[in-house]
Amino acid sequence: MFVGRRKELESLDKLWKKENFQLVIVYGRRRVGKTTLLKKFSEGKNSIFFVCDEVNDKVMLESFSKYVLEHFGLAETIAPFDSWEKVFRFISEKAREERLLLVIDEFPYMVNASPEIPSLLQRMIDHEFINSKLFISLCGSSIGFMEREVLGSKSPLFGRRTAQFKIEPFNYLEASSFFPSLGVEEKITAYGILGGVPQYLLKWDEDLSIKKNIMNNFLDTSAYLYEEPRFLLRQELREPALYNAIIEAIAFGASRLNDIANKIGQRNDKTGKYIKILMELEIIGREVPITDKGNTRKSLYFVRDELFRFWYNFIFPKRTLIETGMAEYILNSEILPGLGAYTGKTFEKICTDFVKRRNAKGDFGIRFERIGRWWGNNPFKKRQEEIDIVGLCNEGMLFGECKWQNRKIDISDLKKLVEKSELFKAEKKVYTLFSKSGFTQKLLNKAKSDKSIRLFTLEELFE
């Protein structure tokens, strides 16, 4: 099933039609759909699609050579090549006259087996491939590796790429296409549980209730998603126990480095190194108040991946009970009662994405250059304040409040937001309020008479 990625597919097709040499880098976290995209792209093309395994140099070269020779029907007549240079030179010769697509999936495994590969490819590009019709795509799931060793300035391949695609998880709007028959509230809840990874979204059965989907996908110990976060960590990391502790601590509200370190009983410096690796895997994210340009003292960490956030909130702490037959009890006593507050954080993320999308279209009258969350000190009331969404530009500011509650937003909620906005000086101020349950008539009337106030319902988020 191929859903989304139309923009990326169109860009790849444009590059393919150019006929000249192309080196295209495709990377992104595991399960995000890189391989599916490249397989779709390779359909109907003269293509060699090689997936690397974690093997040594000899086995890798032999496997790759055989695969290449089989593509040209020569596996029975030509022995496998005894060097990487020979096999790449053979490919180059075959691509002199006709377009040839070579996809090397999980490229980091090839480099781990043969560290000279990037330097060899550099020489081949400069002296051989550049005169061919070869289209190479190097694909990898290790984001840090791909950015450092392939795209980085110290890489032998630096400056040789003709395009790069970082494949991100789907946003809420794209993810909703996986379950078109659901109502908007259910779409938001499902997105909060699964995030935007296609392989996870495909597990959701839109014919079943949220309760039943959670039971089938997370509380059945044989289910794919029940073990998925643990499998991913084991695949990527050497010490999953400490990473588990860090993710759980952040999921339960420890957001500052010192708090996280205290929670897991480790030094700040060691904890920081582990967090950095989780950030490279895009499981953990770091944010600062939108008005602060990278002030690390105010940094807060959060679980960036929605599925990991759900799993570490509700599944990981209760695994023993789940595995001793108490899954339904956990569902009814822990997960369902806590799902509303949990989804509130997802709702803030969705509303921020919506503001960014509308801002790009110029829907707020002025275009904001930066949009994000703000928190800080209120010197007048001597307390900490938070604003869900803040937009910044020279012409003015945007302030947003997101309410995932079973009550309508009232004029009093607007007044609180306006009061917080008085901490900032701006020529023009725009107020945006997002509500799960709608707005009181008094607030609707106020918004009609004051164009600086924008009210958005759940349905409007999906328009």
Q: Are residues 134 and 16 in the same domain?
A: yes
Q: Are residues 304 and 394 in the same domain?
A: no
Is there a domain that residue 124 lies in? yes
Written as one string, the DSSP assignment of 21-85 is: -EEEEEE-STTSSHHHHHHHHHTTS-EEEEE--S--HHHHHHHHHHHHHHHTT-TTTSPPPSSHH
Q: Are residues 334 and 367 in the same domain?
A: no
Q: Are residues 136 and 177 in the same domain?
A: no
Q: Are residues 190 and 337 in the same domain?
A: yes
Is there a domain that residue 351 lies in? no
Q: Are residues 77 and 38 in the same domain?
A: yes
The SS3 call for residue 457 is strand
Domain holding 426, by residue range, is 362-461
Q: What is the DSSP letter of 163?
A: E
The SS3 call for residue 367 is coil
Q: Are residues 109 and 92 in the same domain?
A: yes
Q: Domain boundary residue among 110, 138, 166?
A: 166
Query: 370: domain CATH number?
Result: 3.40.1350.10
CA 110 to mean position of chain CA atoms: 25
Q: pLDDT tens digits for the chain (463 residues)?
A: 567 799 999 999 999 999 999 999 999 999 999 999 999 999 999 999 999 999 999 999 999 999 999 999 998 999 999 999 999 999 999 999 999 999 999 999 999 999 999 999 999 999 999 999 999 999 999 999 999 999 999 999 999 999 999 999 999 999 999 999 999 999 999 999 999 999 999 999 999 999 999 999 999 999 999 999 999 999 989 889 999 999 999 999 999 999 999 999 999 999 999 999 999 999 999 999 999 976 668 899 999 999 999 999 999 999 999 999 999 999 999 999 999 999 999 999 999 999 999 999 999 999 999 999 999 999 988 899 999 999 999 999 999 999 999 999 999 999 999 999 999 999 999 999 999 999 999 999 999 999 999 999 999 999 9
State the total domains in the chain: 3
Is there a domain that residue 350 lies in? no
Q: Are residues 297 and 396 in the same domain?
A: no
Q: Are residues 285 and 419 in the same domain?
A: no
Is there a domain that residue 352 lies in? no
Q: Which residues pair with 383 in a beta bridge?
A: 378
Q: Domain boundary residue among 166, 193, 219?
A: 166
Query: 275: domain CATH number?
Result: 1.10.10
pTM of this structure: 0.93
Q: Domain boundary residue among 289, 313, 344?
A: 344
Is there a domain that residue 309 lies in? yes
Query: 56: domain CATH number?
Result: 3.40.50.300
Q: Are residues 430 and 331 in the same domain?
A: no
Q: Are residues 179 and 156 in the same domain?
A: no
